[in-house]
Chain A
Amino acid sequence: MTTLAFAILLAACMVAYALNRRAATGIRDGGQRLHSVSGYHGLFALLMILVPVLVVILFWLALQGAVVNTLIMSSLPDGTLDGLGAGQVDLILAEIQSISSGRVFGDPEPWKTAAAERFSGMLQTASLGLVLVTALLSLGIMFFARGKVSAEFRARQGVEKIVSGLMIFCSVVAIFTTIGIVASLAFETIKFLRLVPLTEFLFGTSWEPQIPIRADQIASTGAFGWIPVIVGTIVITIVAIVIAIPIGLLSAIYLNEFAPKTVRSVCKPVLEVLAGVPTVVYGFFAILVVAPAIRSLGAQLGIPVAPNTALAAGGVMGIMLVPFISSFADDALSAVPRALRDGALALGATRAETVMNVLFPAAIPGIVGGVLLAVSRAIGETMIVVMAAGLMANLTLNPLESVTTVTVQIVTLLIGDTSFDNPKTLAAFALGMMLFIVTLIINIFALRIVRKYREAYD
């Protein structure tokens, strides 16, 4: 049925285009001078139908499920849902839906079967309604647009206005996305903070996100202090940055100042390949190669190393960040005005002295910006740590031990079926909120540094 609605919309658009275009051509052939070319008359009709009807269809589809579900649940016999938790209500709804789609397990209660029948009936009505609304609306607009065709009608301006509107909408999507992120995170975080006080979340030193299965369970509360999680994140980030900065900076300096042109033109793209490798591949690389290597090295030296040590995850992440830092450093070094370089060389400085004493200090702001962006990326990086770092939150600074990170916790808390009413799920959103805030601050700061510095030399 949905396909039918889209087909009707498409057909209506094409018919309206042809009709208006033909009408406009007729007027022109009748000897009158058109304000707009006939194609614009057709385009005007097409857009007039396409935009509003598409919006209606999409809204209908987005809301249909929720509306039907609410109607079904409210039409159940009185008292069936009394005293049930949100999870159980969801379960009943899921059962009704599966019965209506023909998958019946066991003998469901008669009221469920009845509800399932009503459910499929409503769905049918809804999709029929969608097709009807689409057809009527398209037809109506088609007549309206057809009536507009005249010699003086400014069809081009009309089309351009609609196109402008569409483009503005496109640019506003970015804002909507940001608003969506902030709102959804904030909404769930506030729910979380109702269950767990803010001070406990921010300053608690124990992270054990369990939910009690029975009320009388020992240690039933779970603990939601994010300190061990953020400390783990910091440990892994530091390991990554410590590896990425020297390798990235030195290779940028070499490529920028010393390497022959041919070497540079080969090395730069190869280095970029490192940036293009998906993080899930790095993660598997960490557990397949790096972690065992570090462990056997530790065994040879007699140092105990945890199986999922922070060193492996951080080290691999460092490799991932090398091209990131080196390309930012490369840009920053190239942006230093030629005069500074030439001046230093003319005074008799060697190339190395020019780089270290003149270019590097001048490029520092750009490089710092790049490093900050790398830090924010390391904090937000998910797959490497999900695969290679630990799950248990240990409060330790030792990179040889197993630590967990904010992103690991978000993923492990949300993997699988989740309902939105327990602190475990909500804790993931609270962690997401903190992650978003921290990375946003670093990003804004870094982008500002990079931009300001560029302006200074331009």
Chain B
Amino acid sequence: MTDISSGSLLLTTTDKVRASLAKRHRKQRILQGFGIAAISIAFLMLFILLWSQIATGYKAFMQTNITLDIYVDPAEINVDRLPRGDFDDVLTAALLEKLPNVDATDRAAVREASGIFSNGAQFDLRDRIVEDPSLIGQTINMRMPVSDPYDQLYKELLDRETPEELRRLNDLQIANYDQLLDAGAITSKLNTGLITNADSRFPELAGLKGALLGSFWALLVCFLIAFPLGIGAAVYLEEFAPKNKISDFIEVNINNLAAVPSVVFGLLALSVFIGLFGLPRSVPFVGGLTLALMTMPTIIIATRAALKAVPPSIREAALGVGASKQQVVFGHVVPLAMPGILTGTIIGLAQALGETAPLLLIGMNAFITSAPGSPFDSATALPTQIFIWADSPERGFVSRTSAAILVLLTFLIMMNAIAIYLRSKFERKW
């Protein structure tokens, strides 16, 4: 008996540890489990984010078209009156030929049937005839986008089971559509208009050309300004600046600028570039200037890191053979740091490409139906176009918004891939 009681009294530390070990290991597993759960949640969110955009966006990469043989009736379209003419009547006549059920004298029925044409169809026809007036009197075969509700119907986004009064197409219109579909007049093709058209009020005609060019001009301006200024500032601060209060102040300033909310840069641009300098609203040039101010801190910070990575032996060797300080820096250090500098610049430009808020404030969310030819033409940019489309009530713009987001993400991925490639290809380990 005494043995046992003394045995329990003489419980060693090892025994105590051993007794608690299971509990402690369980705690460790719990912490690990929480960590895995946290990462999984983050990844799940990323997956849902991308998947939701792909799932809604891919449909906008196809466009439903209607193909008709159009008899260009000289009675409706006169050579002398071009570009005027009753092009919509010509279109309707061609449509009615395919739809024998529709009574041509019943104006309401005809109007409902011709709703399948996009608003741009008659202008397409007009442009084609103005270009080649000899087509008048002939029958031409034309493929045109259908209007948004029919596009939705083809993509099965419009539910046929919904009660008629809640549907955007009534039973008659759907019957007409089915007839055309059976006749093979309705086809679906790759939507090149998404890239080659500018913005439009009608989803089936709206494209990203204006936004892509607007973003291109803005980024070009941003690069031309931010790249030299950023490198100049970084080289000075890293290589030449005396360590004193002023250079400290500049440094603090740059770090803070990198963290200033982007919308504040928009306010600056609005009151200085537009208010004070009188530059026009909505132009990519002003957008580029604003983005340049925002990108500069990023470029400066990346450049300084790249310059720091160049070993001092390079500098000392060049100085040793009699080069001046500037010859050392511009002849040896900066070229060696160039891959790092370019990587930082591309990443900065990628950030600038996705930036929206400052562009909204300088009016790059205007509705503009032509693509800009220079940085001084009014334009939108890719992210602001996404914002405009996301705000549009038409159903057709939902999938277009996601498609635009996919285009934007593609560009961002490409830019980052280039940056990663540059880094891995040219980076030197000293």
Contacts and interface: CB of A to CB of B under 8 A. Distances in A.
A297 B326 CA distance: 65
* Interface size class of chain B, counting residues whose CB lies under 8 Å from the partner chain: 35 or more
Interface in B39-95: 39, 41-43, 45-46, 48-49, 52-53, 56
B272 A184 contact: yes
A184 B277 contact: no
A386 B39 contact: no
B262 A380 contact: yes
Interface in B360-400: 360-361, 363, 365, 383-384, 386-387, 390, 398
B401 interface: yes
B184 interface: no
Contacts of B254: 174
A173 B278 contact: no
A411 B386 contact: no
Given A160-B324, A184-B272, A247-B42, A439 B229 contact: no
B236 A247 contact: no
Interface string A317-358: 001001100000000000000000000000010111101100
A407 B268 contact: no
Nearest to B354: A278
B278 A356 contact: no
Interface stretch (A6-14, A108-116, A141-149, A428-436): A428-436
A246 B42 CA distance: 11
B42 A322 contact: yes
A402 interface: no
Nearest to B401: A284
B173 interface: no
Nearest to B277: A62
Interface string B284-323: 0000000001001100100000000000000000000000
Contact of A352 (B32, B46, B402): B32
Contacts, number: 264
A357 to B, nearest CB: 11
Contacts of A352: 24, 27-28, 31-32
Interface stretch (B113-121, B128-136, B151-159, B408-416): B408-416
A175 B237 CA distance: 13
Interface stretch (A17-25, A205-213, A266-274): A266-274
Nearest to B231: A170
B99 interface: no
Interface string B232-273: 110111001100000101101111110111111111101110
A278 B383 contact: yes
Contacts of A232: none
A66 B52 CA distance: 49
Interface in B1-60: 17, 24-25, 27-28, 31-32, 34-39, 41-43, 45-46, 48-49, 52-53, 56
A432 B37 contact: no
Interface in B329-385: 350, 353-357, 360-361, 363, 365, 383-384
B416 A276 contact: yes
A251 B46 CA distance: 14
Given A174-B233, A440-B260, A280 B52 contact: no
Interface majority SS on B: helix, strand, loop or mixed? helix
A177 B405 contact: no
Contacts of A253: 31, 35
A281 B38 contact: no
B233 A436 contact: no
Given A66-B278, A439-B259, A250 B356 contact: no
Given A351-B28, A439-B260, A250 B271 contact: no
A249 to B, nearest CB: 8
B35 A258 contact: yes
Interface residues of A, number: 94
Contact of B24 (A171, A255, A319, A350): A350
B405 A355 contact: no
B357 A250 contact: no
Contact of B267 (A172, A185, A270, A447): A185
Interface in A408-458: 410-411, 414-418, 420, 428-429, 432, 435-436, 439-440, 443-444, 447
B275 interface: yes
B137 interface: no
Contact of A420 (B48, B275, B416): B275
A280 B354 contact: yes
B52 A285 contact: yes
B412 A181 contact: no
A101 interface: no
B86 to A, nearest CB: 28
Given A160-B326, A319-B45, 8 more contacts: A69-B278, A168-B236, A174-B253, A254-B39, A255-B35, A356-B31, A379-B261, A387-B387
14 contacts: A170-B236, A173-B229, A174-B257, A178-B256, A185-B267, A247-B41, A278-B354, A278-B408, A279-B354, A281-B53, A382-B261, A417-B281, A440-B260, A447-B255
Closest 7 CB pairs of A and B: A380-B261, A254-B35, A278-B354, A170-B232, A250-B38, A352-B28, A167-B236
Interface of A: 62, 65-66, 69, 156, 160, 163-164, 166-175, 177-178, 180-181, 184-185, 187-188, 246-251, 253-255, 258-259, 267, 270-271, 273-274, 276-285, 287-289, 319, 322-323, 348, 350-353, 355-356, 373, 376-377, 379-383, 386-387, 407, 410-411, 414-418, 420, 428-429, 432, 435-436, 439-440, 443-444, 447
